[in-house]
Amino acid sequence: MSDKKIYLSQDEMPRQWYNIVPDLPGGLQPPLDPETKQPMGPEKLAAVFPMALLEQEMSANRWIDIPEEVREVLTIWRPSPLVRADKLEAAIGTRAKIFYKYEGISPAGSHKPNSAVAQAYYNKREGVKRLATETGAGQWGSSLAFATNKFGLECKVYMVRVSFDQKPYRKAMMHTYGAEVVASPSPDTAFGRSVLARDPETPGSLGIAISEALEDAASRDDTKYALGSVLNHVIHHQTIVGLETKKQFEKIGLYPDVVVGCCGGGSNFAGLAGPFMADMLDGSRKGTRFVGVEPASCPTLTKGVIAYDFGDVAQMTPLLPMYTLGHDYIPPGIHAGGLRYHGMAPIVSAMLREKLFEPIAVKQLECFEAGVLFARAEGIIPAPESCHAVRGAIMEALKDPNDPKVIVFNLSGHGLLDLASYEQFFEGNLVNYEYPAEAVAAATRNLPKI
């Protein structure tokens, strides 16, 4: 029973976020103004983001202080536990030591509030009254609804239509926290209306929902935009996960040989992996492997190209340097949830460019099989996104079952509001889908390559 759960006290919760950008070999290319194709400064983005977050987005500082007001809200659930998955080890027959950082204890049930709380705080501090955002699986929307409630802000969430239909209780959670939620594409924006006119039955996409939220924010003086992944400042906020995990391993005298995280927009993986990657980059630790697991239906890292692309369908964002499937990508209506995004965070894209981690693509059915196995062994039902990390950790443990290596993965959320997708799995209604490489080539042909 020793070391089943490793806890930190509230006083041990990190007081700074880690910014990996100054440590990245080759650096990070700046976003480009789509009109001039020149590097874009913060002034053009100030209409939709508060200056404090833009400063973090472009910061050259390795460490960014966490405001006490943010830490106070985070202590509702942080620090989160690091847990030894000994029952999973026994179930799969491995000598590997498998640990998971459990982020499902947050009010929204995932890691997303780590950034939502910070973003709501900085917007409130600068006099913003209302935030507009998008959400795919609903975890980010739930998290921002929670955070805006804490800081007295209004919140409008554009939820990808397929998830809006699949996940009614995510909508209920957002409503409980006081947010307004609409299916995207919606009739509430000019861009949403144009998409519906072209295809009334579209399942929607994160790229479309982002366009709607950006249009909303740009059209009102009292409103700013909030994004749940991809951007640098979001990844900085999520490093609290990896920083806590490092302290927890120190308490038991271990250090991971393999770090695993699922990859959608990038903040989940980078939040856990970044602080450990810092040790590899400064030479204090060698030999650690990093594995990013993405869905085969949205294989941004394994089949995408690295190029300058828009983060949304309406081409309202700056051109971001990232691995991409093309901004027009409409993912199939499967249950990979928030991992269905056409692009990857510039920071994670730079990590892959420098070959700092190994990306793998896994299929939907094998991820649900891993999630069910984990639930029956450890008792926690993982979110569909987190099932990808579970699958990756099991694959690593079984490469050599006799190797007592230490594996850690980010169990980024619980699946209690995703049980409809599990029911579809048990009824045999889910299928595997692999995005064809030729579609990527066609969608990215005219993008400026890096």
pLDDT tens track, the chain, 450 positions: 467 999 999 999 999 999 999 999 999 999 999 889 999 888 888 989 999 999 999 999 999 999 999 999 999 999 999 999 999 999 999 999 999 999 999 999 999 999 999 999 999 999 999 999 999 889 999 999 999 999 999 999 999 998 898 889 999 999 999 999 999 999 999 999 999 999 999 999 888 999 999 999 999 999 999 999 999 999 999 999 999 999 999 999 999 999 999 999 999 999 999 999 999 999 999 999 999 999 999 999 999 999 999 988 888 889 999 999 998 887 776 665 668 888 999 999 999 999 999 999 999 999 999 999 999 999 999 999 999 999 999 999 999 999 999 999 999 999 999 998 899 999 999 889 888 888 888 888 888 888
- Which residues are CB-contacts of 329 (< 8 A; sequence separation ≥ 6)? 205, 207, 298, 342, 443
pLDDT in tens, 62-79: 999 999 999 999 999 999
| pLDDT score at 333 | 67
H/E stretch holding 6 reads: strand 5-6
Strand order in the sheet with 406-411: 5-6, 82-84, 97-102, 406-411, 258-262, 289-295, 358-362
Dihedral, CA of residue 34, residue 37, residue 42 and residue 45, to nearest 10 = 0
pLDDT at 313: 84
Cβ neighbour number for residue 73 with a 10 Å cutoff: 21
Three-class SS of residue 410?
Answer: strand
pLDDT of res. 336: 55
Rounded Cα distance between 338 and 359, Å, is 17
- Find out whether 324 and 444 touch, Cβ atoms under 8 Å: yes
Residues 341, 321: Cα–Cα separation, whole Å: 15
pLDDT of residue 1: 47
Place of tokens 């554009």: 158
pLDDT score recorded for residue 136:
85
Q: What is the pLDDT of residues 329-362, one digit of tens each?
A: 877 766 656 688 889 999 999 999 999 999 999 9
Q: Before 107, cis peptide (omega within 30)?
A: no
- The number of beta carbons lying within 10 Å of the beta carbon of residue 283 is 7
Cα distance between residue 411 and residue 400, in whole Å: 22
Residue 156: what pLDDT? 98
